[in-house]
Amino acid sequence: MIKSSTTIALVPQITYGPWIYWHDLEKGMEKASNLGFDAIELFTPASDSLEIAHLEQLLKKFNLELSAVGTGAGKVIHGLTLTDPDPEIREKAIAFISDMITFGAAFGAPAIIGSMQGNVLPGNDREKTLSWLADALEILGEKAAEAGSFLIYEPLNRYETNLMNTLKSGVELLEKLKTKQVKLLADLFHMNIEEADMAESIRSAGSHIGHIHFADSNRKPIGMGHTEMDSIASAIKEINYSHYISAEAFPEPNSDKAAEKTIESFKKYFR
């Protein structure tokens, strides 16, 4: 079954971005639960920002699951990426994500590699940079397997990375890896910039897709932009997608309305 999820941002340094609820875990969970979301996706400063027992207790209390954990704080706060030319920084990036994998796995949730993938920096070789990314995914994919989980790799739009911008390039990257524990994130906002045909891209990527970010063309909640959702929803159902559809969208016009719009759209297309 396709499950609904909404995001909660808990990084104090970040005060605006594509996340629905902000800075208050318990309040966000209570609201998500009241609206009938199945799960929450968390954006935390680090793997040890929340006590496992505390989160466990709140998930139980509000009858929610943890759909995924974001790792972007490693870049935003610490300047780490998996493709930095400095091997020490790459190593720290791997350690940061590795700890996030362990944290998420305690709740059956995968870690997401989005902005932590980095970029081919000026003066650097593309093939070399891609080999650093592949090496990191091999290590982290196996780490996720050991933890009983999997890892999520997210192609981003061209304004955020020059590594992989489409699902197809993501599939090609994953198919070259030895590890089979890495799945793709289909972020409908990034896809609306990069894909020629979003539904067709979803059908082609098929079972490689392990997580979906639910946002309209303007990164507002689905239903507030011009993304044509009918064909996309059909494609998601056609590939028998059975993971989460998680609202990574701006809290517009405010968190409560964005969450309501999201669950309304989720039910319209997937229930």
Among positions 248, 250, 251, 258, the unique one binding ligand LER when judged by CB under 6 A: 248
Q: Is 194 in the site for ligand LER (CB under 6 A)?
A: no
Phi, psi angles (nearest 5°) of residue 36:
90, 15
Annotation says 172 is catalytic? no
Q: Which of 41, 194, 195, 248 is catalytic?
A: 248
Kindly tell me which of 90 and 211 has the beta carbon lying closer to ligand LER. Answer: 211
User: What's the min distance (Å) between Cβ of 176 and ligand LER?
Assistant: 23
Q: Which of 154, 172, 194, 252 is catalytic?
A: 154
User: What's the min distance (Å) between Cβ of 23 and ligand LER?
Assistant: 18
User: What's the min distance (Å) between Cβ of 248 and ligand LER?
Assistant: 5
Rg (CA), the chain: 17
Task: Record the tokens describing residue 186, joined without a space.
Answer: 């289909």
Among positions 211, 213, 243, 261, the unique one binding Mn ion when judged by CB under 5 A: 213
Task: Give the contact letters, 168-187, x = binds to ligand LER (CB under 6 A), - = no.
Answer: -------------------x
Task: Give the contact letters, 99-118, x = binds to ligand LER (CB under 6 A), - = no.
Answer: -------------x-xx---
User: What's the min distance (Å) between Cβ of 57 and ligand LER?
Assistant: 27
Q: Is 119 in the site for ligand LER (CB under 6 A)?
A: no
**Contact (CB, 8 A) for 22 and 28:** yes
Kindly tell me which of 43 and 96 has the beta carbon lying closer to Mn ion. Answer: 43
Partner whose footprint covers residue 72, from Mn ion, ligand LER, none (CB < 5 to 8 Å by kind): ligand LER
Task: Record the tokens describing residue 40, joined without a space.
Answer: 């929450």
Annotation says 65 is catalytic? no
How many residues does this entry show for the chain?
271
Q: Is 248 in the site for Mn ion (CB under 5 A)?
A: yes
Task: Give the contact letters, 124-163, x = binds to ligand LER (CB under 6 A), - = no.
Answer: ------------------------------x-x---x---
SS (H, E, C) the chain: CCEEEEEEECCCCCCCCCCCEECCHHHHHHHHHHHCCCEEEEECCCCCCCCHHHHHHHHHHCCCEEEEEECCHHHHCCCCCCCCCCHHHHHHHHHHHHHHHHHHHCCCCCEEECHHHCCCCCCCCHHHHHHHHHHHHHHHHHHHHHCCCCEEECCCCCCCCCCCCCHHHHHHHHHCCCCCCEEEEEEHHHHHHHCCCHHHHHHHHHHHEEEEECCCCCCCCCCCCCCCHHHHHHHHHHCCCCCEEEECCCCCCCHHHHHHHHHHHHHHHHC
**Contact (CB, 8 A) for 270 and 2:** yes
Binding site for Mn ion (CB under 5 A): 187, 213, 248
Give the active site residues.
Answer: 154, 248
Binding site for ligand LER (CB under 6 A): 72, 112, 114-115, 154, 156, 160, 187, 213, 248
